[in-house]
Structure 1
Amino acid sequence: MNAPLVDVRNVSHRFGQASVLHNVSLRIEAGSYTVLLGPSGSGKTTLLSILGGFVVPTEGNVFIRGEDCTAVPPAKRPTTTVFQDYALFPHMSIGKNVAFGLRMRGVDGATRAQRARSALKLVGLADAFDRRPHQLSGGQRQRVALARALVVEPAVLLLDEPLGALDLKLRRQMQDELKALQKSVGTAFVHVTHDQEEAMALADHCVVMNDGRIEDEGAPERVYSQPATRFSATFMGESTVISGTVAGSRSGIITLRTPVGDISLPGEATPGSTFSLAVRPEHLLLGEPAGSLGLGEAVVGDVVFQGSFRRVLATSKRDPGIAFLARLATGSPVASGDTVAVSCRPEHIIRLKD
């Protein structure tokens, strides 16, 4: 097996008495787009800071290109960081901002200018070389920050919530541009966000973090469709989660006793053991078509129009603590107060570890 570009081994970190990372190990391959995803306080920004050399971990090691970079300062490791506020120098021209890292490396003026122009062309700002940061829009300043980071040709580009300050339309536009840029330059990107849609739009390697640990990681399609844990299922997109106890297991079929009734599924499990099931909103059905698995009746509460679909929230009649979340076509005949049968197809039920 080839060595990864970045190899984080058993990293833990504490700020005073507060432990923010717990024995984290992570491999990042060359040319990948890795997204660290999680809520505030999950440890994702601390892990990014450790990768960038701004924080030295309390325990563990970070290897980049096979070299131990754990205590190597930011300027001497093959990484650059793009911060959320872009951190551009207001008194410098855009060209000088982009060339600043090259200047710190002792590159001569003519070469700096040439490479800065090339980097600005790469991000679509070839005509901004002599302008100042205040003359650019937020999206343009973000592109300048990217050009400044890429001009020094890092092995790994680190992005700390770079789209957080942008409006929704511009954020989606920049997601497309970031992915295209990463494919064009081939540099490994490591991107921190708390936005699940952003993670799925950008990542080919999604890392879900919670309470200083990695809950789940893999291709975003797998993390979404087959989440490893309950937390991953509820944070990486929405889900209806139902917990139950195994009442019996025979001939490869499990009978799970749940608050909405008994559910039979393929698999093996020990009678008396407990686990949870999840159903994504696009797989939850109102009605019981042939071949579906009934989940009881529910009373429809909120019906929210969201453009291409209607978001429907319904409360189980058997257990008011269970809220069914469905995503239906805009023309679906359902209204607040309706009593509906709820079901899903067996193949769309996700079995979770708690």
Structure 2
Amino acid sequence: MNAPLVDIRDIWHRFGQHPVLKNVSLTIAAGSYTILLGPSGSGKTTLLSILGGFVNPSEGKVLIRGQDCTSVPPAKRPTTTVFQDYALFPHMSVGGNVGFGLRMQGVDGATRAAKARDALALVGLAAAFDKKPHQLSGGQRQRVALARALVIEPAVLLLDEPLGALDLKLRRQMQDELKAIQKRVGTAFIHVTHDQEEAMALADHCVVMNDGRIEDEGPPERVYARPATRFSATFMGESTILAGTVIESSDRTSTVTTPVGPVSLSSALPLGSTAALAIRPEHLVLGAASAGTKLGEAAVSDVVFQGSFKRVLATSVEEPSLRFIAKLPATSIVHAGDRVAISCDTDQIILLTD
């Protein structure tokens, strides 16, 4: 088995007496696109700062390529960081900005210019070499910052919410470009965001953080389809959560009583134990008869058209504190005030372990 490119071991970090990272361990493979995903205050940006050398952890180690880099300053470790605000020098040309890191390394002018042109070509800005940053759009300046980071050929590229300042259309365009560039150069990218859509669009390794800890990690398809915890199920996309108690159990199946009726699962659970079940919006069926699990009736409170689908909120008739979140085809005929039967595909019910 190949050693990981980045090995984060038992990292703790405190601001005063307040812990912002709590015993975080994580390995990152060479050539991967890792997303650190979580809400504000979850510790993701602090972890990225520790990886970049801008913050020294209170405890623990950071190994890159097998070398202990925990106390190595940013300029001397094999990482570069792309920040949300781009941090381009306004008085320098685009080519000068891209070549700045090479200049600090003592690379001669001709080599510097050639490498800067190659890096700009990589991000689709070959013609911008002699322009100034103010002559470029936000998306172009972001690509210049990316070229500047890549030109020094880091082992790991760190991206701190790099798309946060862009509008929705440009953000989606840059997501496609980032993924394509990462595949071309093969550098490991570690990217911080709080945007679940961005995480699923870019990552092949998704790390969900909350309150200074890693809640879940793995391929985004697995984290979404089979989240490990309640937090992961509600942050990485939306879910309807049912709480219940196991009333029947055998070697292969269990029945959980919930406020909207019994739910059978193909999992052996201890009799009398509590269980939390998650159902993704696209797996709920409203109105039409279903051969799956019946979940009672609900009153539709809101219908939001979102282009390719309709997002429907409905309140359970049997348990008014329970709100269903459903994603229906855009052509579905459903209105606020409708009273509908609710069901779901039994195989798509997620058993949460926490």
The 5 Å alignment of 1:166-181 reads 166-181=166-181
The 5 Å alignment of 1:1-354 reads 1-287=1-287, 289-354=289-354
Q: Secondary structure at the match of 2:99?
A: helix
Q: Secondary structure at the match of 1:228?
A: coil
Q: For the residues of structure 2 that align with 1:183 and 1:340, how far apart are their CA atoms?
A: 46
- Residue 251 of structure 1 deviates from its aligned partner by 4.6
Q: Secondary structure at the match of 1:311?
A: strand
- Residue 291 of structure 1 deviates from its aligned partner by 2.2
* Structure 2 unaligned spans of 5+: none
Q: Look up the equivalent residue of 1:321 and give its one-letter code.
A: S
Show CA shifts across 1:255-291 (max 9, x none): 1111111112121111121121011101100135342
- Residue 228 of structure 1 deviates from its aligned partner by 0.3
Q: For the residues of structure 1 that align with 2:290 and 2:100, how far apart are their CA atoms?
A: 65
Q: Look up the equivalent residue of 1:186 and give its one-letter code.
A: G
Q: Look up the equivalent residue of 2:326 and give its one-letter code.
A: A
- Residue 250 of structure 1 deviates from its aligned partner by 2.5
Q: For the residues of structure 2 that align with 1:17 and 1:123, how far apart are their CA atoms?
A: 43
Show CA shifts across 1:166-185 (max 9, x none): 00000000000000000000
Q: Secondary structure at the match of 2:120?
A: helix
Show CA shifts across 1:67-98 (max 9, x none): 00000000000000000000001111111110
Q: Look up the equivalent residue of 1:217 and give its one-letter code.
A: E
- Residue 146 of structure 1 deviates from its aligned partner by 0.3
Q: For the residues of structure 2 that align with 1:97 and 1:187, how far apart are their CA atoms?
A: 21
Q: Look up the equivalent residue of 2:83 and give its one-letter code.
A: F
Show CA shifts across 1:22-48 (max 9, x none): 000000000000000000000000000
Q: For the residues of structure 1 that align with 2:266 and 2:150, how far apart are their CA atoms?
A: 50
Q: Look up the equivalent residue of 2:278 and give its one-letter code.
A: A
Q: For the residues of structure 2 that align with 1:188 and 1:278, how far apart are their CA atoms?
A: 33
Q: For the residues of structure 1 that align with 2:212 and 2:191, how far apart are their CA atoms?
A: 17
- 1:301, 1:336 within 8 Å by CA — same for their partners in 2? yes
- 1:288, 1:294 within 8 Å by CA — same for their partners in 2? no
Q: Look up the equivalent residue of 1:81 and give its one-letter code.
A: T
Q: For the residues of structure 1 that align with 2:14 and 2:290, how far apart are their CA atoms?
A: 54
Q: Look up the equivalent residue of 2:203 and give its one-letter code.
A: A
Q: Which moved more, 1:40-49 or 1:280-289?
A: 280-289
Q: For the residues of structure 2 that align with 1:99 and 1:331, how far apart are their CA atoms?
A: 52
| Aligned pairs, number | 354
Q: Secondary structure at the match of 1:87?
A: coil
- 2:290, 2:343 within 8 Å by CA — same for their partners in 1? no
Aligned-residue Cα RMSD (Å) equals: 0.8
Q: Look up the equivalent residue of 2:264 and give its one-letter code.
A: S
- 1:256, 1:262 within 8 Å by CA — same for their partners in 2? yes
Q: Secondary structure at the match of 1:172?
A: helix
Show CA shifts across 1:44-65 (max 9, x none): 0000000000001000000000
Q: For the residues of structure 1 that align with 2:97 and 2:232, how far apart are their CA atoms?
A: 40
* Structure 1 unaligned spans of 5+: none
Q: Look up the equivalent residue of 1:294 and give its one-letter code.
A: K
Q: For the residues of structure 1 that align with 2:185 and 2:118, how far apart are their CA atoms?
A: 12
- 2:290, 2:344 within 8 Å by CA — same for their partners in 1? no
Q: Look up the equivalent residue of 2:180 and give its one-letter code.
A: A
Q: For the residues of structure 2 that align with 1:50 and 1:57, how far apart are their CA atoms?
A: 6
- Residue 252 of structure 1 deviates from its aligned partner by 2.1
Q: Look up the equivalent residue of 2:173 and give its one-letter code.
A: Q
